[in-house]
Structure formats: structure tokens, C-alpha cells
Copies of this chain bind each other. A is one copy, B any other.
Amino acid sequence: MTAIQDIMQEPVLVLAPGDTVAQAISAIRAIPRNRLFTYPMVVDKKGRLMGLCVMRDLILADDKARIADVMLTKIVSLQKGLDVHEALSRIKGREIPEYPVCARNGKLRGVVRAAKLHEIEEARLTATPGRMVGVDEGETVATPFVASVRSRLPWLMINLVTAFAAGLVVGNYQDTIDRVVLLAAFLPVLAGQSGNTGAQALAITLRTLERTGTTDFYSIALWKEIRLGILHGIVTGILVGLVIYVVAMIQGDKGPLVLAFIVFVATILSVLVSGLSGASVPIALKKLGADPATASSIILTTVTDIVSMGSMLMLASMLIRYLT
């Protein structure tokens, strides 16, 4: 998070409302040509922002006119303390190149250029996929080795703990796998499908959060993922069921139809839960005050792994008498 005061600059030209246009123009003349600025700012005696002047209006105005009469007073100012992302959502859709920054008491503190805000926001947005898997916002290929280790290794350690949680679920059903070893080959299939479904829902939710700035859409998102989960679950469930049926027939395993039923139900269940989790995890993180992108991916992978592999193995162990 970059605060707006970290990137604001001194206002180049500050006028008083009583100044004349002629005075303003001679003040502009006195500014070195290479200093970039767009608007002279107008403040009262206490330094509070009253308005700003557009160069075009100064050109059109009479020399003797007062600044108070030619300045714009309906202006968008940004408050000190805003972060860049919030500032950008305030100025969304406006094509103004420079904004005044004021303190809470209305005093002009500086100006900030829209291009600078966008530059920082774009750097933050290119960082999103990395933040989801434990890569520091600033890390690129050029980052030194030790800094990369520091940013990435802790995340791999956390991931290891959650991966063991999934392993524990599978380990819990060693007996079932021992008796129907074909199930082991379908562990990556179920985990892969539900992982992808969850990642899709996660991406959509993150994107909607980013664009709207609110979590109000949560119930709509849930309802959408329920419908998508059921449909996608049925379609993929049929395919996965079909494959295990054929393989079990070829291998001469017992109960191919029961196996097909198990993976069919497990696929629907895990695709559904993954979609709902993908929509819920970033919302929950946001409501807890955390960055919705950071840690989303790791929590989601754990959920999808456990639900998908767990549901298949649990069903199989419940129906084990038809399989051995």
C-alpha cells in the first residue's frame, strides 16, 4: 500500500482568490519552463483549497478579472492518508491529469499526478498472481537470491503443512486404497478438477472485489457458483465416472459400476464445494481485514484437495463391500 502523501509534490503555483488574471499570468511566466504542472491552485488566507485554474480559462479571461471569478470550484480533491488504490477509485472515469491533495482541515498539502497513481496501481496489479502464491509484491527476476528465498520459502513451509493435511486425509484411507488401488490413480484427477474450478471462482471473485471495492455481491456469487458447480460437476463427473468404469473393466477390478458411481458423486461434490470456497475465501479474508489475494490460493488448494480426495475415499470406504 502506497499512501498518497508519499507520491505527492509541492504545488507549483498557488494563487489567492483576489489575484487578477494578469498577476496569475505573470506568475506563470516566472516558473521555469521545464517544471511540469497543469493547474494553478487557489487557496484562502489560511491555506485552505478554494479552487483551481484551468489554463484555457486564463487564456479566455480578461486580464483584470479576479481569479475568484475564473477558477473552478467544483473540483475533485484527494485527502491525505488515502492509499493509491482508494484514490484511483475516487477519480475513476475522470480524465484530469493532476489532483490537489488536502489535509482533513481542507488545507492544500500538495498535488498528485494521475499518471503516477496509475503507474503504482499497475505495478500492484501485475503483482497479484504472485501475492496469491507467496511472492513479494516487488519481486521480479532481478531480485537477489536471498531476498527471493526470504519471500518464497516461508510460503512453501506453510504450503507443506496444508499439503500434509491433505496427505493425512489420504493416509487415513490407506486401507481402502490398499484394497482398491485404482483409486490412487484418480486422486490427482479429482484434485486437479476441483483445484481448477476453485481457482476459476477465486479469480472471478478477486476481480469483482478489485473492480467494485465492495463485498455486496457475495450472495450473487454463491448462487452462481452453486449452479455452475452442479452443471460442471455433472459434466465432468460423467466423464470421470466413465473412465474409471472402463479402466476397472479392463483391469478386471470388482464393482466397476460402483466405482463409477463413487467418482461421479465425489466429482460433483468436490467441484461444487471448490466453487463455493473459491468465492468465499477472498470475501472472508477481505472481511477479516486481510488482503484478499494473499493466502487465498493456499487456503483454497487445501480445501479442494481435502474435499475432493476425501469425498472419493470416504464414499469408497463406505461402499467397500461392493468393491472387494
Using a CB–CB cutoff of 8 Å, the interface residues on chain A facing chain B are 25, 28-29, 36, 38, 55-56, 58-60, 88, 92-97, 113-116, 118-119, 121-123, 125-130, 132-135, 139-143, 145, 148-149, 152-153, 155-157, 159-160, 162-164, 166-168, 170-171, 174, 177-178, 181-182, 184-189, 191-193, 195-197, 199-200, 202-208, 210-211, 217, 220-221, 224, 227-228, 231-232, 235-236, 239-240, 243, 247, 293, 297-298, 301, 305, 309
Taking a contact as CB atoms closer than 8 A, the residue among B96, B164, B228 that contacts A149 in the complex is: B228
Taking a contact as CB atoms closer than 8 A, the residue among B28, B129, B235, B301 that contacts A192 in the complex is: B301
Contacts of A191 in B (CB 8 A): 163, 188, 191
B160 lies within 8 A of A171 (CB): no
A156 lies within 8 A of B188 (CB): no
Taking a contact as CB atoms closer than 8 A, the residue among B28, B93, B197, B224 that contacts A156 in the complex is: B197
Taking a contact as CB atoms closer than 8 A, the residue among B115, B127, B184 that contacts A174 in the complex is: B184
Contacts of A196 in B (CB 8 A): 133-134, 155-156, 159, 298, 301
Taking a contact as CB atoms closer than 8 A, the residue among B38, B141, B162, B231 that contacts A204 in the complex is: B141
Q: Given A113-B95, A174-B182, A181-B177, are A160 and B236 also a contact pair (CB < 8 Å)? A: yes
B114 lies within 8 A of A97 (CB): yes
Determine the distance from Cα of A167 to Cα of B182 in the docked complex, in whole angstroms: 10
Give 7 A-B pairs besides A28-B60, A97-B97, A114-B118 with Cβ atoms closer than 8 angstroms: A36-B95, A114-B114, A132-B199, A149-B231, A166-B192, A167-B186, A187-B187
Q: Closest residue to A166 on the B side, CB-wise?
A: B188
Q: Closest residue to A145 on the B side, CB-wise?
A: B227
Could you list some 10 contacts between A and B, CB below 8 A?
A114-B118, A118-B121, A122-B125, A129-B129, A129-B202, A140-B204, A166-B188, A167-B185, A167-B186, A196-B301
Closest 6 CB pairs between A and B? A163-B192, A171-B185, A130-B203, A125-B125, A55-B55, A97-B97
Determine the distance from Cα of A153 to Cα of B235 in the docked complex, in whole angstroms: 9
Contacts of A140 in B (CB 8 A): 204, 207-208, 211
A133 lies within 8 A of B200 (CB): yes
Shortest CB distance A144–B (Å)? 9
The A contact surface, by secondary structure, is helix
Determine the distance from Cα of A6 to Cα of B115 in the docked complex, in whole angstroms: 21
B178 lies within 8 A of A38 (CB): no
Shortest CB distance A282–B (Å)? 11
B228 lies within 8 A of A152 (CB): yes
Shortest CB distance A34–B (Å)? 12
Determine the distance from Cα of A298 to Cα of B195 in the docked complex, in whole angstroms: 11
Determine the distance from Cα of A156 to Cα of B239 in the docked complex, in whole angstroms: 12
Contacts of A182 in B (CB 8 A): 171, 174
Determine the distance from Cα of A157 to Cα of B232 in the docked complex, in whole angstroms: 9
